[in-house]
């Protein structure tokens, strides 16, 4: 009997039975990166947490529309000065156009996530591709009295929102009266009526390069508005799951709820999910404090925190060993332990896959496999509990390493299940497969090298040059030496 999926909903603070709006379909939105610098390993953890959620939902049979945006405009370091535009600041630093910054770090983001075997979302919208929709929603909020224009910028009126019985602060459980009382005096002189009001649209100063025409003059959109527009455009005014890192709960997600309720008349999200933070040596990973490591530095070993390099699949395994709602600390010891565990698991999977199903092995384990399967499913159904799933997988590792026998049918089922949990659900890459495909690439290249040699022996220079040049275009350089021809792959 399949139990029901339960999700911890940050909005209610409770684990709830998951009922999608449309049976068997799930709409999920996850806040994507602000592409002004390389993603650090902490960012990767959050995206991997939701990759696991996505993989699990698919495994459970849901058809998932998974939207993860790219923030390529408008995410200021604070709500005020345009000098705090991350893209503009970084473009000055690197002497590149802001859109070159966006491109450079979007490419890096994709590359990193691919290395960790994250599946791409089904839609990946950009903020700059949805300026029109953001202007339209701002106009609607203005027309309905939820926003006001001030000196070419437009702000959301939090007090007005609350006056109408809507409840700003419901997600982060902040008391709005207190928020007002604490901050009113500090920021009373600015463009905003109240310091809690947030920008829907910001006026661009003459020097600000990232700008778009609007009914309020040239400007750029507010960060919170981007996510509201992109999520509801592709998933509907109300959709099933919204995810992001814990640190986005307030103000970002609080503002998304306010914009959705005020703009579309309903609370936008049914299940809010927040992934917990990655810490390194006990301290939160963050660019601003300097306590961070880039994924490639951990993979290559070029860093001062870890004594050796670690494979991407080992890092992924380490992350999966923690529940997404728990803080995860990485240290040299934790990584070494994860590597040991990973190798043990993968070794057992290999042994299992090599067990022959040709022979009949009658054995006593039939009921246990069903039970084991149920336990693995239950772990997934209980708010995506990856560490419990892994603990159950290790029970099976013990069995694989014992001499007990099972029937062919059970062995087949066990292979299918184990491979599905390890590769499809946990997303652990098979190092074996990678080295296999390296072997295959090597075989193909040797074949081409031999064909080129034959072509040269036949004085078919056109063919021999073609092989060399086209490989070069693919980043594979042939080198002719005394020992024959070798190649390097860049
Ligand atoms: P940003 O590009 O700054 O918007 O961040 C991208 C995502 O990474 C957000 O969902 C953040 O919540 C998340 N994030 C930032 N720092 C950490 C951390 N130390 N651990 C886990 N997630 C993080
Ligand atoms: Zn967002």
Whether residues 238 and 335 share a domain: the answer is no
Host domain of residue 367 = 279-425
Answer yes or no: is 3 within a domain.
Answer: no
From the CB of 37, is ligand 1 less than 6 Å away? no
* Same domain as 130, residue 37: yes
Instruction: Mark whether 53 and 170 lie in a shared domain.
Output: yes
Question: Does residue 293 line the site of ligand 1, with CB under 6 A?
Answer: no
**Does 185 fall in a domain?**
yes
Residue 108 tokens, joined? 């890096």
> For residue 465, is pLDDT > 50?
yes
Same domain, 341 and 441: no
In this model, does residue 395 exceed pLDDT 70? yes
In the predicted structure, residue 481 carries a pLDDT above the cut 70: yes
Give the residue from 260, 275, 290 where a domain finishes. 275
pLDDT confidence bin for 186, thresholds 50/70/90:
very low
Name the burial class of residue 143, with classes exposed (0-12), middle (13-18) and buried (19+) by CB atoms within 10 angstroms of its CB. exposed
Mean pLDDT of the region 203-229: 94
pTM: 0.87
Instruction: Give the integer Cα–Cα distance in Å for 351 and 207.
Output: 64
Across the chain, how many H-helices and E-strands are there?
16, 15
How remote is the CA of residue 296 from the centroid of ligand 2, in Å? 25
Number of structural domains the chain divides into: 3
Same domain for 238 and 301? no
What contacts 11, CB < 8 A, 6 or more positions away?
Answer: 170, 171, 269, 271, 272
Query: 187: pLDDT confidence band, cut at 50, 70 and 90?
Result: very low
Average pLDDT over residues 85-111: 92
Q: Whose CA is nearest to atom 6 of ligand 1?
A: 33
Cβ density class 224-237: b for 16+ within 10 Å, e for less: bbbbbbbbbebbbb
Does residue 84 lie in a domain region? yes
pLDDT of residue 312: 97
- Spacing, Cα 168 to ligand 1 middle (Å): 23
pLDDT greater at residue 147 or residue 443: 147
pLDDT of residue 482: 73
Same domain flag for 268 and 291: no
- DSSP 8-state class, residue 251: I
225 with 350, same domain? Answer: no
**Residues near 433 by Cβ (< 8 Å), separated by ≥ 6?**
none
2 is a domain residue: no
The answer to whether position 207 is within a domain reads yes
Q: Which residues does 210 contact at the CB level (< 8 Å), separation at least 6? A: 73, 74, 85, 87, 88, 98, 204, 220
Which CATH number do you get for residue 347? Answer: 1.20.120.640
Q: Is the pLDDT of residue 362 over 70?
A: no
pLDDT at 122 over 50: yes
DSSP 118: P
The torsion region of residue 187 among left (phi > 0), alpha (psi -120 to 50) and beta comes to alpha
Query: Do 130 and 145 touch, CB atoms closer than 8 A?
Result: no
Query: CATH code at 92?
Result: 3.40.50.620
State whether 284 and 312 are in the same domain: yes
196 and 85 together in one domain = yes
Residue at which a domain ends, from 425, 443, 464: 425
Confidence band of 81 (pLDDT split at 50, 70, 90): low
Same-domain check for residues 264 and 316: no
Residue 374 in any domain: the answer is yes
pLDDT tens for 412-464 read 999 999 999 999 999 998 764 555 566 678 888 889 998 999 999 899 999 99
User: Residue 103: pLDDT band by 50, 70, 90 thresholds?
Assistant: very high
User: Does ligand 1 come within 6 angstroms of the Cβ of 33?
Assistant: yes
pLDDT of residue 403: 74
Per-residue model confidence (pLDDT) at position 188: 41
CB count within 10 Å of CB 111 equals 12
Instruction: Give the residue whose CA is nearest to atom 18 of ligand 1.
Output: 42
Among protein residues, the one with the nearest Cα to ligand 1's atom 11 is 245
> What is the layout of strands, in order, in the sheet containing 63-68?
63-68, 25-30, 239-245, 269-275
Same domain, 265 and 290: no
**Considering the domain boundaries, does residue 379 fall inside one?**
yes
pLDDT at res. 434: 52
The rounded Å distance from CA 227 to ligand 2 centre is 5
- Give the model confidence (pLDDT) of 172-183 as tens digits: 998 777 777 666
Instruction: With respect to residue 354, please indicate whether it lies within any of the assigned structural domains.
Output: yes
End residue of a domain, out of 392, 425, 458 = 425
| DSSP string computed for 387-416 | HHHHHHHHHHHHHHTS-----HHHHHHHHH
Pocket test for ligand 1, best of 31, 39, 40, 42 (most atoms within 8 A of CB): 42
Q: How far is the CA of 26 from the centre of ligand 1 (A)?
A: 24
CA of 110 to the centre of ligand 2 (A): 18
Residues 420 and 480 in one domain: no
Strand pairing class (198-203; 219-221): antiparallel
Provide mean pLDDT across the span 253-261. Answer: 98
Q: How many angstroms is it from 45 CA to the middle of ligand 1?
A: 8
Indicate which atom in ligand 1 lies nearest the CA of residue 39. 2
Judge if the beta carbon of residue 245 lies within 6 A of ligand 1. yes
pLDDT band for 404, please (50, 70, 90 cuts). Answer: confident
């Amino acid at each position: 009997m399949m139990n029901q999926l339960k999700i911890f909903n940050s909005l209610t603070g409770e684990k709830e039975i998951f009922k999608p709006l449309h049976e068997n379909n799930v709409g999920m939105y996850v806040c994507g990166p602000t592409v002004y610098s390389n993603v650090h390993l902490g960012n990767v953890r959050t995206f991997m947490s939701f990759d696991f959620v996505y993989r699990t939902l698919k495994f459970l049979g849901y058809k998932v529309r998974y939207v993860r945006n790219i923030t390529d405009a408008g995410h200021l370091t604070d709500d005020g000065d345009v000098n705090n535009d991350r893209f503009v600041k970084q473009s000055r630093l690197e002497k590149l156009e802001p859109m070159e910054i966006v491109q450079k770090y979007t490419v890096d983001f994709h590359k990193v996530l691919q290395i960790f075997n994250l599946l791409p979302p089904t839609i990946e919208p950009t903020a700059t591709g949805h300026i029109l929709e953001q202007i339209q929603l701002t106009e609607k909020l203005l027309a309905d009295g939820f926003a006001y224009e001030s000196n070419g910028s437009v702000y959301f009126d939090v007090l007005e929102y609350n006056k109408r019985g809507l409840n700003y602060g419901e997600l982060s459980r902040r008391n709005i009266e207190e928020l007002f009382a604490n901050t009113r005096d500090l920021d009373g002189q600015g463009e905003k009526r109240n310091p809690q009001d947030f920008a829907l649209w910001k006026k661009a100063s003459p020097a600000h390069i990232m700008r778009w025409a609007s009914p309020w003059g040239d400007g750029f959109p507010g960060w919170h508005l981007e996510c509201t527009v992109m999520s509801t455009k592709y998933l509907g005014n109300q959709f099933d799951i919204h995810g992001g890192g814990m640190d986005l709960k307030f103000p970002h997600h609080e503002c998304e709820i306010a914009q959705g309720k005020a703009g579309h008349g309903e609370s936008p999200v049914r299940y809010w999910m927040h992934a917990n933070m990655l810490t390194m040596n006990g301290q939160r990973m963050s660019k601003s404090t300097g306590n961070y490591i880039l994924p490639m530095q951990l993979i290559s070993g070029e860093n001062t925190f870890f004594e050796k390099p670690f494979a991407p699949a080992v890092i992924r395994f380490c992350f999966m060993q923690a529940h997404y709602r728990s803080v995860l600390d990485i240290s040299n010891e934790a990584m070494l332990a994860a590597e040991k565990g990973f190798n043990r698991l993968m070794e057992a999977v290999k042994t299992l896959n090599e067990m022959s199903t040709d022979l009949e092995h009658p054995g006593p384990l039939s009921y246990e496999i069903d039970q084991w399967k149920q336990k693995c499913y239950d772990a997934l159904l209980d708010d995506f509990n990856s560490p419990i799933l892994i603990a159950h997988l290790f029970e099976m590792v013990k069995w694989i390493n014992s001499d007990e026998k099972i029937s062919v049918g059970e062995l087949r089922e066990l292979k299918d299940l184990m491979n599905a949990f390890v590769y499809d659900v946990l997303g652990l890459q098979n190092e074996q497969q990678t080295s296999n495909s390296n072997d295959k690439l090597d075989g193909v290249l040797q074949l081409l090298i031999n064909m080129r040699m034959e072509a040269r022996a036949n004085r078919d220079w056109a063919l021999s040059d073609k092989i060399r040049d086209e490989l070069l275009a693919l980043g594979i350089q042939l080198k002719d030496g005394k020992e024959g021809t070798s190649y390097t792959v860049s």
